[in-house]
Structure 1
Amino acid sequence: MSTYLDFKFGSFNNTCSKVSLTLCPLVGSTDGIEPLCYSRNVKLADTLIFQPSTLIIHIIALVMTAIMIYHIRSKYTAVGRKEIVMFFYLYMLVTVMDLLLISGIIPTASNLYPYFTGVHIGLISATFWCLLLNGFVGFQFAEDGTPLSLWSIRISSFVIFSAITFLSIATFESLGPFSATNPVTLWVVFFVFNGACLLIYVILQILLVVNTLDDRWPLGDIVFGVAFFSVGQVVLYVFSINICNFAKHYIDGLFFGTIATLLSVMMVYKYWDSITKEDLEFSVGSKQNVWEVKELMGDDEMAGGGYGQQQQHLGPPGSGFGYNGNSPAPGTYGQANFYDGAH
């Protein structure tokens, strides 16, 4: 097993000797690659559940992603709403597949395991690709929300998903020129392609904030997102064995890597939310005036009287006039004069 610790381009030996990725049982050798240290399993209803702590984080990730999707869909007129929500749907699918495979709900001995793992890897690449394309939405090369913008992301993401899924399954089954013992192409896709998509997205968003927005605070969301993801990858691929030994096999790097990935995805949402603003005038042209009236009435009430102060200018009940019996001066009460005051 010590040979697996040596890094080699195009080989998962070094990676899989440290952390139990879903593809590790399918590459490297006939029996796959087993990590030197991994989290304990628990028995639940006569079923062994692997990575129980990571399974809990996956469930939390699903709940948090559902909440983020709800808030995104609630911002009806925000720029790129329909585009960015596709990224979170894909992340949710990746989490579900990860949950099924990492926990052993779909056992590695099953004949279906290579196919589910291929779908999982295809979804990961499609998620990174979708995030990359969302990086172009803010530049308005195609107007957001239009069929061109939406279907270009949907179709291209599906093509990436299909191609990477086929590549993964062909590698696991050693079909044609692909080999499970020498998975160079899959390694390049898993690390280089996905990493390049993320890097380009980050660069695009920095350019967008610096050149387009007056506010620089969204840069903080980008920095935190990159920091969370980077720390998670370092913990996952470098310190997993150390964490596993220190924690006496209760947790390993996969636990912290999953948490860091969730936090980075949450920062993607936070960043998008900070650079988008919902337009309150999308349905009724005079809606802005209505909001201004409510704000002015609220200010009058807080200033000392509100509705009670208006009553002082009214005459006897039913007269419709002031104390002197004259018509009230314009603006004493009535919604129309609030509009005038607002302008």
Structure 2
Amino acid sequence: MSQYGNFHDFCRDSGSLHATIPVCNLFNESSARLPDATGFGGCDLRGIALSGDRNLANLAGSILLDGIAILVALFLLWKSNVKKAAVGRREMQLFLIGYIIISICEIFTVGGFPLDGAVRRGFTAVHMASVVATVWILMLNGAVGYQLLEDGTPMSMGLIFASAAMLFIGTGYIALDTGFSWTGYWDSSLGGDNQSYSLYTLYQLCPLVFLVIFIILETLLVIRILGERRPMFYLMAATLLFAIGQIFQYVISVHICNGTGGKINGGLFEVLFTLLAVVTIWLFWSSITEDDWPMPGSAGGASYP
């Protein structure tokens, strides 16, 4: 059987019953439609015990750290608003709002709250849709610096918001229909291997492609147009931090879970390094908008922005 679209190993290694990859909720809590509705067979992330044989599985990873991430993102929103003349200010704020929505959803999707399965699947659909839409917004932020359209205008913001909204609605609907089987159209992709071609493409591959395009666009902007090197340290650092978080989530998580007896897993570090990556991306954006960057053909006084 093709391994494309197979989430089973990812879900197993990220926490079994309380997997810290949100898409796993759509498979793990789809009741009788799945042959394995009680877990994925990996290390069970249990966290701290509550009354009635319940657990708050991911207190440190997705509850406390995501709470901190929301506060940090709100601070960066305010700091962005202060930079009145910065290119892409509104577009960067839209990206930060998306990250806040992701962080809020993450508290309920992978935080291990003892929620009703239907409620968790609803949060999961919003979570996944927000990830896709927010990374799309970040990619478009990479194009804003080229000033193909004047930044911050209704045209620029409208195009970004409308395209992100279409991705959000499309991804959210597919996730909801997969989890709740409203039409039954996606049931054929559900089975013992927890396989879904559509969700794998939208949730795993599309954000990766968007990130690569963003990095390429910003690298060309900084090196070829601004003729600078210093901002590249921020961009490279953000890329490295994000990659480290994904390694903790997809590779190291199961070993941390086993080593701590199910108290924590790699999800904690994924949230931490993603937060650091977002902060570094903001620093990168700030570094190319706060100084006077000479533009090609400028007469000394022209600057970016």
Counterpart for residue 107 of structure 2: 99
How far did residue 35 of structure 1 move?
Answer: 5.7
The count of corresponding residues between Structure 1 and Structure 2 is 273
Give secondary structure in 2 for the equivalent of 1:112.
Answer: helix
Q: Is the 8 A contact 1:78 1:278 kept in 2?
A: no
Map 1:315-326; keep pairs closer than 5 Å: none
Counterpart for residue 12 of structure 2: 17
Opposite residue 68 of structure 1, the aligned amino acid is L
Of residues 74, 98, 103, the one that matches 1:90 is 98
Q: Distance in 2 between matches of 1:120 and 1:60?
A: 18
Does residue 221 in structure 1 map to residue 234 in structure 2? yes
Of residues 141, 148, 152, the one that matches 1:141 is 148
1:176 and 1:249, CA in 2 relative to 1: closer, same or farther beyond 3 A? Answer: closer
Map 1:29-40; keep pairs closer than 5 Å: 29-30=34-35, 31=37, 33-34=39-40, 36-40=42-46
**Once the two structures are superposed, what CA deviation does each residue of 1:223-246 show, in whole Å capped at 9, x if it has no partner?**
101101111111110111111122
Counterpart for residue 202 of structure 1: 215
Q: Distance in 1 between matches of 2:38 and 2:6?
A: 12
Opposite residue 214 of structure 1, the aligned amino acid is G
Q: Distance in 2 between matches of 1:143 and 1:69?
A: 21
Counterpart for residue 27 of structure 1: 27
Two-structure CA RMSD over aligned residues (Å): 2.1
Give secondary structure in 1 for the equivalent of 2:118.
Answer: coil
Q: Is the 8 A contact 1:118 1:169 kept in 2?
A: yes
How far did residue 62 of structure 1 move?
Answer: 1.1
Counterpart for residue 240 of structure 1: 253
Q: Is the 8 A contact 1:221 1:268 kept in 2?
A: yes
Opposite residue 93 of structure 1, the aligned amino acid is I
How far did residue 188 of structure 1 move?
Answer: 1.1
**Once the two structures are superposed, what CA deviation does each residue of 1:135-165 show, in whole Å capped at 9, x if it has no partner?**
1000111011111111111111111100100
How far did residue 33 of structure 1 move?
Answer: 4.3
Q: Distance in 1 between matches of 2:23 and 2:69?
A: 21
Opposite residue 103 of structure 1, the aligned amino acid is G
Opposite residue 196 of structure 1, the aligned amino acid is V
Give secondary structure in 2 for the equivalent of 1:249.
Answer: coil
1:247 and 1:106, CA in 2 relative to 1: closer, same or farther beyond 3 A? Answer: closer
Counterpart for residue 298 of structure 2: none
Opposite residue 242 of structure 2, the aligned amino acid is F
How far did residue 171 of structure 1 move?
Answer: 1.6
Q: Is the 8 A contact 1:7 1:13 kept in 2?
A: no
Give secondary structure in 2 for the equivalent of 1:9.
Answer: coil
Q: Distance in 2 between matches of 1:220 and 1:195?
A: 21
Opposite residue 24 of structure 2, the aligned amino acid is C
How far did residue 216 of structure 1 move?
Answer: 1.0
Identity of aligned residues (%): 28
Map 1:32-51; keep pairs closer than 5 Å: 33-34=39-40, 36-43=42-49, 48-51=55-58
Higher relative contact order (CA 8 A, sep 6+): 2
**Once the two structures are superposed, what CA deviation does each residue of 1:265-301 show, in whole Å capped at 9, x if it has no partner?**
111101000000279xxxxxxxxxxxxxxxxxxxxxx
1:33 and 1:125, CA in 2 relative to 1: closer, same or farther beyond 3 A? Answer: farther
Counterpart for residue 73 of structure 1: 81
- Give the TM-score of the pair, scaled to structure 1: 0.75
Map 1:104-123; keep pairs closer than 5 Å: 104-105=112-113, 107=115, 109-123=116-130
Does residue 274 in structure 1 map to residue 281 in structure 2? no
Give secondary structure in 2 for the equivalent of 1:238.
Answer: helix
Q: Is the 8 A contact 1:39 1:244 kept in 2?
A: yes
Q: Distance in 1 between matches of 2:95 and 2:232?
A: 20
1:135 and 1:17, CA in 2 relative to 1: closer, same or farther beyond 3 A? Answer: same
My pick for the range that moved more, 165-174 or 73-82, is 165-174
Counterpart for residue 57 of structure 1: 65
Q: Distance in 1 between matches of 2:129 and 2:207?
A: 11
Unaligned runs of 5+ in 2: 29-33, 293-305
1:144 and 1:195, CA in 2 relative to 1: closer, same or farther beyond 3 A? Answer: same
Give secondary structure in 2 for the equivalent of 1:240.
Answer: helix
How far did residue 262 of structure 1 move?
Answer: 0.6
Q: Is the 8 A contact 1:27 1:33 kept in 2?
A: no
Map 1:288-303; keep pairs closer than 5 Å: none
